[in-house]
Amino acid sequence: MITHAEMSPDKYVLMQSTGLKDKNGVEIFEGDIVQWGDTADWEEEPIRVAVVKINPDIQFDSNVGIFEYGQFAFRDTERFLTVLGNIYENSELLEVE
Q: What is the pLDDT of residues 64-76, one digit of tens each?
A: 777 777 654 455 6
pLDDT above 70: percentage of residues in the chain: 67
Asked if 82 contacts 22 with a C-beta cutoff of 8 angstroms, the reply is: yes
Of 5, 3, 72, 8, give the one whose Cα is nearest residue 36.
Answer: 72
pTM: 0.72
Q: What is the pLDDT of residues 53-96, one digit of tens each?
A: 887 778 888 877 777 776 544 556 667 788 999 998 988 888 76
Of 20, 26, 97, give the one whose Cα is nearest residue 58.
Answer: 20
Residue with the bigger pLDDT between 68 and 47: it is: 68
**SS3 at position 52:** strand
Asked if 84 contacts 49 with a C-beta cutoff of 8 angstroms, the reply is: yes
Domains and CATH numbers, the chain: 4-94 (2.30.30.290)
